[in-house]
Amino acid sequence: MSLTSLSTREATAKAAVLVEALPYIRAHAGKTVVVKLGGAALVDELVAPKVAGDLALLSSVGMRLVVVHGGGPQVSEAMRAAGIEPAFVGGLRVTDDAAMEVVRRVLAGSINSDLVGTLCVAGLRAVGLTGADAALLTCGRRIGANGEDLGRVGSVLETRSQLLTDLLDHGYTPVLTSIAPDGEGGFLNLNADAAAAAVACSLGAAKLVYLTNVAGLYQDLGNEGSLISQLTPSELETMIPTLSAGMRPKAEAAVTALRRGVPKVHVLDGGVEHALLLEVFTDEGIGTQVMA
Amino acid sequence: MSLTSLSTREATAKAAVLVEALPYIRAHAGKTVVVKLGGAALVDELVAPKVAGDLALLSSVGMRLVVVHGGGPQVSEAMRAAGIEPAFVGGLRVTDDAAMEVVRRVLAGSINSDLVGTLCVAGLRAVGLTGADAALLTCGRRIGANGEDLGRVGSVLETRSQLLTDLLDHGYTPVLTSIAPDGEGGFLNLNADAAAAAVACSLGAAKLVYLTNVAGLYQDLGNEGSLISQLTPSELETMIPTLSAGMRPKAEAAVTALRRGVPKVHVLDGGVEHALLLEVFTDEGIGTQVMA
Amino acid sequence: MSLTSLSTREATAKAAVLVEALPYIRAHAGKTVVVKLGGAALVDELVAPKVAGDLALLSSVGMRLVVVHGGGPQVSEAMRAAGIEPAFVGGLRVTDDAAMEVVRRVLAGSINSDLVGTLCVAGLRAVGLTGADAALLTCGRRIGANGEDLGRVGSVLETRSQLLTDLLDHGYTPVLTSIAPDGEGGFLNLNADAAAAAVACSLGAAKLVYLTNVAGLYQDLGNEGSLISQLTPSELETMIPTLSAGMRPKAEAAVTALRRGVPKVHVLDGGVEHALLLEVFTDEGIGTQVMA
Amino acid sequence: MSLTSLSTREATAKAAVLVEALPYIRAHAGKTVVVKLGGAALVDELVAPKVAGDLALLSSVGMRLVVVHGGGPQVSEAMRAAGIEPAFVGGLRVTDDAAMEVVRRVLAGSINSDLVGTLCVAGLRAVGLTGADAALLTCGRRIGANGEDLGRVGSVLETRSQLLTDLLDHGYTPVLTSIAPDGEGGFLNLNADAAAAAVACSLGAAKLVYLTNVAGLYQDLGNEGSLISQLTPSELETMIPTLSAGMRPKAEAAVTALRRGVPKVHVLDGGVEHALLLEVFTDEGIGTQVMA
Amino acid sequence: MSLTSLSTREATAKAAVLVEALPYIRAHAGKTVVVKLGGAALVDELVAPKVAGDLALLSSVGMRLVVVHGGGPQVSEAMRAAGIEPAFVGGLRVTDDAAMEVVRRVLAGSINSDLVGTLCVAGLRAVGLTGADAALLTCGRRIGANGEDLGRVGSVLETRSQLLTDLLDHGYTPVLTSIAPDGEGGFLNLNADAAAAAVACSLGAAKLVYLTNVAGLYQDLGNEGSLISQLTPSELETMIPTLSAGMRPKAEAAVTALRRGVPKVHVLDGGVEHALLLEVFTDEGIGTQVMA
Amino acid sequence: MSLTSLSTREATAKAAVLVEALPYIRAHAGKTVVVKLGGAALVDELVAPKVAGDLALLSSVGMRLVVVHGGGPQVSEAMRAAGIEPAFVGGLRVTDDAAMEVVRRVLAGSINSDLVGTLCVAGLRAVGLTGADAALLTCGRRIGANGEDLGRVGSVLETRSQLLTDLLDHGYTPVLTSIAPDGEGGFLNLNADAAAAAVACSLGAAKLVYLTNVAGLYQDLGNEGSLISQLTPSELETMIPTLSAGMRPKAEAAVTALRRGVPKVHVLDGGVEHALLLEVFTDEGIGTQVMA
């Protein structure tokens, strides 16, 4: 026999959160959400399991999750270890054949299997994928903004999402890394933000979430009080030239996704505890939400 | 474009409630819960719609709800209006034929249809029932503890719960009032606490909840600080002689239900806002929980 | 060992009835029939079980039955017992708040549960309903032909028949009484003949049957030999001004139902043994049939 | 507009037949009945369509019918036309190879396709079969009671009824004639009464009906008043030595079927109009019924 | 323990056949093929079981087979035995009522049941049919090219192929002989080549195969080296006047079938071992293939 | 129009192969076959696409294929490139943490995605997997035969094959590489022959095929004429000490699989064209088959 200790004030506060959250929980059950993992959420040994826990909670109340990831810093490190100096043109990594071999070994061989392992420990039935699996992604080569030859850098031309749908229907969580076949027996290196957007469009996802190292988009970069809670695709498009180099591809991918039917894109700081839960299940959210 | 206002402290508090609640939400999806409504939850024009709102939230995240109710005070009032003086033996209402006619008119004619209306306004698809519908309850006459003739007072002998299951499977919320046929063309008056327990056993419910006018069971009646959060069926059985007259039939019905396979019985104050949500979706709960 | 006693003449007669009936039985299997019970069929202790037996036979060969009932005489009696004098304007009962409470207690509390009990004894799985259940009927207030305020008298604006369909699909027989919510927390008193017609239209019923105290419609009221076997909606409409007060609302409801797609309406004397069987399963029928 | 002409007396009589018949109709829906057609029902150009009409009525109220037939007189006629003199031993036709060719040409080539045509005209979806179809019947040779060589005369050793079940499940009426393969590339001639019994046992039929040229079994052959309405398998077995040559194989097959689980066997005069309907849908029946 | 003996040359040859055959096997799985059996394949005691074996192999890898047959020589023989001299007008058998009786006894009574037996021994679940079964074929009388009265000669007006589809769906092989009801209680004699084409059109068959006594169509009749492997419907149509009397109705039926949507028609010599397998599972085939 | 050129001799030979193959094709449809790819089949740019083509043909006739691979030579090469000298104890690679990182980058990052790409080009819907996906393989550390610490070398303790089954049910071809999580956030290096056997047991596979660089098992190693076509598990077990170092783990895994219910294990030379087809679809096969 044990006595009750919940005070009335605590009870009232808890009840308010539940009343706020339950309609969102109901509304999101059965909906598909694509989550691009980057930054600390991907690599920090303390943060990654927490994010995995949040993803498991979202999945447990019926959301259908697809995780997409890249891994820039780890690739650069491995390239240097292999004696190749990383080079970028307009934010895109110049990727020759030797570099491509490093890219896919790091992304598919190390990061993807680590992430799948972490998500399985959190209770998800995660399945690692590349764009080659069941010919999921068809890509073409991409050249630099000024016509530079970037080597094995690709962009998604077509997405065959049946494999993702089949896995989701059976309760699996696909975990896709950003490489894909070039149609000639080789592989291409994709921007993971763009790949996440392509997958979200193809699945008719209800949400596309970018988990990053920043709290969201700011009206005045550097002024923390100016974090934007909500904006429109047009407003976002206007802001692109003012954004940081890391945020620009996310913003471009977000605008594309919103124009092609994904109703909401979120940018969150993956390092804030339970950022995903707060964004999805509260009225205000915690990061920046762009609504079509 | 709008700026964010959620403070870190609020965010942390909200996240904690969600992390606490989500596993319960997942665990209860698809489970059957029988809720006996009494006291203010049934009749107070301010309280009833709030309770209905909570029931609608529980239903919206996949719980299968069956509501059971009586209506003692209203019956007594109607009897007096019809010139019949209410009389009780051992807490059971002596019910002659004229009284029985009053009982079923008040319970099935007034309270049940009012409650159905309130629940529908809250968004549930409520369907009012008596024990006669599809021969749901088979009852026998019950005599007083000292052999007194109580007239048309009955106890449930058998429950044919197929109608409840069919309604639940199609998303309806059955609302059962405590009268049932006597097998000879007449009706019997049931104790609603016992009827709720019988239904919960028959459905293999995961929970039986008594929404009452008190916060739960107390170790020392009158000492608010001694509210019991959790106890065992044996502990409850031992307490029965010390309980108030109103609580005794609940406690007896609860012990019966727990012995016959209902794993948890809850006693809550229906007048506390969101008592149901707090009891179901938090670790501590807000009332008294008896676990088999 | 027993010898045969069926004579050839008997055999021939029986065979003729079967050959006549079997195509009707086949044709009606799976069809929905709305039966408005009134008069002796509803209240006579000798007649009601017989009508229930016929309904059970119809159901046993695959017809989907919906029963609708009112209960005018019983309501008047209870009103007088409660000190309220019944008053009518143009055949409609003036119903103030106190009267409405009596109406629903008598209809939903007494008559509906008695009828459900009788039908269950006959072998049906009857389920009692009011217009409040799953928000089945949406109603508006109705004023007298000359603009009189009739109080809580309503007419059906919309029928959500999903609950009826779900119950029928699972083999239940819905038994609906003629009260419905007013959308503001109160109830309205409906004309049961009109309610039956509204339900029949909404379900796309194959038949609407009025079981009454008279054999059908007469060409010359008072001349038994002039009972009409069959007529058209236009012929019926023309006759309305000549009809008795009790028959007029049935005739109006019938014309409405026929115009909105119910192909056949029948008026029968519920007191004639097996009137329902004879009407449904013979070429000539026994009462009056109006065919669109 | 038309007036009613059904008199009360007629109405009462019709109602009585319906009340008697409806429970049988309900009870037989979905049940399998094997009907052996012989005599006039098979060959009389006036009788056959009437019997077909009755079978169509039975089928229309949900009975699953299997028709079995032989065709002794037609076979004898064709044999004589081919210059073969018919010969019998203990009621079984001596069948050499040439005779067997005549047998299957008459039974499968002429009678079966005629009967299928007649049944289709009556509204059934009849499908003609021999024991060879999908290897339905496995047979062995049968010798005479005194060891005579009867040639190609067979008895059923095993029945693979899946083809019948598949056809019945899709609403077809199998029409089986009494020939079957001998397992060595040839065919055997079966007694149709015995084949019908074998099929009824294999299907777990609810009834086996012999439509013949006589009204049933008589206590005193020749005394029409002594027609037996009902008897037990033991009583029937005792009677066998006293029966006519044509009735004996039916009686033997009936006893076998009753012993192996077919609950009822009927013997009827197929020439009596609607004999099938009267036997199936009335309490007394019209022929002789043997009940296990 | 056993040592390997397959030589490299044999292995290479076997592998080549498999690589050639597997795509055809895959492509034909689940497809419907109508096979008209004639000549030796139908009557030769040595050939028929081999053809049945090939049909069983085709069925075993998922092809849905419908067999159609006539039986001209056997009918002529039986007519002569019955004292009727066979007569033909433009290749069609003049068929009076007596001849028709012979026709159906031979086709349905003898040939069909023999063929069903042979196919069942080969492992198929064959079911014999005439055009009367479930009213499969509706036919009209056909007159000679110069208006001659041919008696009971018919052509197919309509095909109700549901029975065939139901049988195929359950794994049966329908075996149809070329007689059909005349709609007036009698039967008509059909050309089996035309009946096979009608059935193939109605089923949307992927192939129609004529198994005959000749190797296929020849560019120069009599010159074996001029066997045509493949041609178009127009080329075939042009050839018709030059064809043998037996081939002409096949060619006409083939052209009709190809025009109505059957994509391929084959003419093969049923006497060549495994002709069916070679035609279906090799690139070149062995007979003549006409492709739309 | 084209003339036929298939000679009778060719036709007879082709027919013989088809008649031999079709029963195997039928028998294997729907059966699961685990194929361990090693040697030339895995890495030779000319051989790999041919093996992929054979796998696609097997899949096209309904076989459910699971591919398993390792990649020893490539791992050794990459280790040397990273400055780590490969070392083996009893045939098992000593794998420290740095080596493990190389192992999974080569196996999961390079070989697996190349193989998936090649199989997709051949028409399969291949999906690359590691033992981490959906927690497919649970492993423990393995020590050397003499207790040596081998580092991150593992053996399979448990297989959760639901992911494989779900993928196979939807027409995908799982391609599993031989690494698996260690349950503590790291990975283990598995012997691919043993992993293939574990998967085959868990799936209840009908066959386990080792595609290697040798033609099979020899009675006298070095004597090509002594290639064993067929042997028993006991015979194989007896041979193990005499086998080459590369064949020994295959033989041990094969014996284990055969003892745990896999009925057949095959050892084939993946470099022989169409070795898979010949082994599966001919009586003799081309390599060595071990049958339980």
Record the tokens describing residue E73, joined without a space.
Answer: 């020589």
**The tokens of B101 are what?**
């006619």
Query: Position of tokens 């195509």?
Result: C23
pLDDT at E178: 97
Predicted local confidence at residue D4, as pLDDT: 61
The pLDDT tens digits for E28-56 are 989 999 999 987 778 788 899 999 999 99
pLDDT in the model for residue B216: 85
Weakest mean pLDDT among C171-180, F76-85, F209-218, F232-241: F209-218
DSSP H or E segment with residue A235: helix A233-239
Comparing CA positions, the residue from D194, D167, D224, D152 lying closest to residue D32 is D167
Res. B24: pLDDT tops 70: yes
Place of tokens 């009525």: D57
pLDDT at A5 > cutoff 70 = no
Do the beta carbons of residue C216 and residue C227 sit within 8 Å? yes
Residue E285 touches partner F, C-beta closer than 8 Å: yes
> In which band, very low, low, confident or very high, does the pLDDT at A282 lie, cut at 50, 70 and 90?
confident
Residue with tokens 């990182």: F101
Q: What ipTM does this complex have?
A: 0.94
Amino acid F6: pLDDT: 66
Element (DSSP H or E) covering residue B142:
none
Q: How many CB pairs under 8 A join A and B?
A: 143
- Contact residues on chain D for E101, CB-CB shorter than 8 A: 110
- The backbone region for A121, taken as left when phi is positive above 0, alpha when psi lies in -120 to 50, beta otherwise, is alpha
* Cα–Cα–Cα angle for D55, D61, D62, rounded to 5 degrees: 90
pLDDT at F90: 78
Q: Mean pLDDT score of chain A, rounded to an integer?
A: 91
pLDDT tier, B4 (very low <50, low <70, confident <90, very high otherwise): low
- Of A260, A276, A258, A259, give the one whose Cα is nearest residue A268: A276
Query: Is F13 in CB contact (< 8 Å) with chain E?
Result: yes
**Does D272 contact C at CB distance below 8 Å?**
yes
Between residues A283 and D287, which one has the greater pLDDT? D287
Q: From D291, which residue of chain C is nearest by alpha-carbon distance?
A: C1
Query: Tens digits of per-residue pLDDT, B173-193?
Result: 999 999 999 999 999 999 999
User: CA-to-CA distance for A155 and A136, rounded, in angstroms?
Assistant: 13
Kindly indicate the confidence band of residue A6, based on its pLDDT and cuts at 50, 70 and 90: low
In this predicted structure, what is the pLDDT of residue D214? 85
pLDDT at residue C39, rounded to an integer = 75
SS3 D263: coil
Return the pLDDT at B92: 87
Span of C271-280, D39-48, D135-144, F129-138 with lowest mean pLDDT: D39-48
Q: Among residues 180-219 of chain C, which lie with CB inside 8 Å of chain B?
A: 181, 185, 187
The whole-number pLDDT of residue D271 equals 87
Which chain B residues in 241-270 lie under 8 Å from chain A, judged by CB atoms?
Answer: none
Chain centroid to Cα F57, Å, comes to 17
Token pair listed for A67: 């995780």
- Measured in degrees and rounded to the nearest 5, phi and psi for residue F180 equal -155, 155
pLDDT (tens digit per residue) in C237-247:
999 988 887 78
Partners of A105 on chain F (C-beta within 8 Å) are 105-106, 109-110
pLDDT of residue A2: 73
pLDDT digits (tens, 9 = 90+) for E150-163: 999 999 999 999 99
How do residues B102-123 score in pLDDT, each as one tens digit? 999 999 999 999 999 999 999 9
Give the pTM.
0.88
Closest-CA distance of chain C to residue B128, Å: 6
- Enter the DSSP assignment of D109: I
Evaluate whether chains D and A are touching (3 or more beta carbon pairs less than 8 Å apart).
no
DSSP assignment of chain F equals: -EE----HHHHHHHHHHHHHHHHHHHHHTT-EEEEEE-THHHH-TTHHHHHHHHHHHHHHTT-EEEEEE--HHHHHHHHHHTT----EETTEEPB-HHHHHHHHIIIIIIIHHHHHHHHHHTT--EEEE-TTGGG-EEEEE---TTS---BSEEEEEEE-THHHHHHHHTT-EEEEESEEE-SSS-EEEE-HHHHHHHHHHHHT-SEEEEEESSSS-BSSTT-GGGBEEEE-HHHHHHHGGGS-TTHHHHHHHHHHHHHTT--EEEEEETTSTTHHHHHHHSSS-SSEEEE-
Which two tokens mark C177? 């009484």
Average pLDDT over residues F57-77: 93
Residue F4: predicted pLDDT: 61
Inform me whether the pLDDT recorded for D5 exceeds 70. Answer: no
Predicted local confidence at residue E18, as pLDDT: 87
Is the pLDDT assigned to residue F259 strictly greater than 70?
Answer: yes
Mean of pLDDT values over A211-216: 88
CB contact under 8 A, E228 and F14: no
Residues of B in contact with A17 (CB under 8 A): 13-14, 17-18, 21
Q: Tell me: pLDDT of D6 over 80.
A: no
Work out how many CB contacts closer than 8 A connect E with F.
Answer: 142
Q: In the structure, what pLDDT confidence band is assigned to residue B9 with cuts at 50, 70 and 90? A: confident
Question: Rounded mean pLDDT of B128-153?
Answer: 94
Contact at CB, A285 and B4, closer than 8 angstroms: yes
Per residue in B240-259, pLDDT tens? 988 887 788 899 999 999 99
Closest CA to B216 of A11, F275, C98: A11
**D22 and C277: CB-CB below 8 Å?**
yes
What is the pLDDT, as a whole number, of residue C121? 95
Q: How confident is the model at residue E5 (pLDDT cuts 50, 70, 90)?
A: low
Which residue's structure tokens are 């046993």?
C60
For chain E, give the mean pLDDT.
Answer: 91
Q: Angle at the Cα of F261 (from F256 to F266), degrees rounded to 5?
A: 65
> Interior CA angle at E60 toward E57 and E64, to 5°?
100
Give the pLDDT confidence score for residue A44 in this predicted structure.
84
pLDDT tens sequence across E191-210 = 999 999 999 999 999 999 99
Name the residue facing A14 among B15, B22, B282 (closest C-beta): B282
- Does the pLDDT value for residue A216 go beyond 90? no
- Any chain F CB within 8 A of the CB of A89? no
Comparing alpha-carbon positions, the chain B residue that sits nearest to A61 is B26
Q: Which pLDDT score, from 0 to 100, does residue A15 have?
A: 84
Q: What is the pLDDT of residue D227?
A: 86
CA distance D214 to chain C (A): 14
User: Does the pLDDT value for residue D3 go beyond 90?
Assistant: no
pLDDT per residue as tens, chain C (292 positions): 676 666 777 778 888 888 888 888 888 989 999 999 987 778 788 899 999 999 999 999 899 999 999 998 899 999 999 999 999 987 789 999 999 999 999 999 999 999 999 999 999 999 999 999 999 999 999 988 888 899 999 999 999 999 999 999 999 999 999 999 999 999 999 999 999 999 999 999 999 999 998 888 888 877 777 889 899 999 999 999 888 877 888 999 999 999 999 999 999 998 888 999 988 888 878 899 999 8
SS3 E276: helix
Q: What is the pLDDT of residues E82-112, one digit of tens each?
A: 999 999 987 789 999 999 999 999 999 999 9
Reply yes or no on whether the pLDDT at F132 is more than 80.
yes
Q: Whole-angstrom Cα distance, residue A268 to residue A213?
A: 8
Kindly state whether C107 is in contact with chain B, defined as any CB-CB distance less than 8 angstroms.
yes
Mean residue pLDDT of chain B comes to 91
pLDDT for the residue A173: 98
Contacts of C127 in chain B (CB under 8 A): 129, 133-134, 163
d(CA C70, CA D44): 58
Q: Which residue of A has its CA nearest to B236?
A: A1
Give the neighbours of chain A: at least 3 Cβ pairs within 8 Å.
B, F
Residue in E113, E83, E86, E97 with CA at minimum distance from that of residue D82: E83
pLDDT digits (tens, 9 = 90+) for D258-281: 999 999 999 999 888 899 998 888
What is the per-residue pLDDT for D286? 85
- Residues of chain D in contact with residue E121, where contact means CB-CB under 8 angstroms, are 185
Classify F52 in phi/psi space as left (phi over 0), alpha (psi -120 to 50) or beta.
alpha
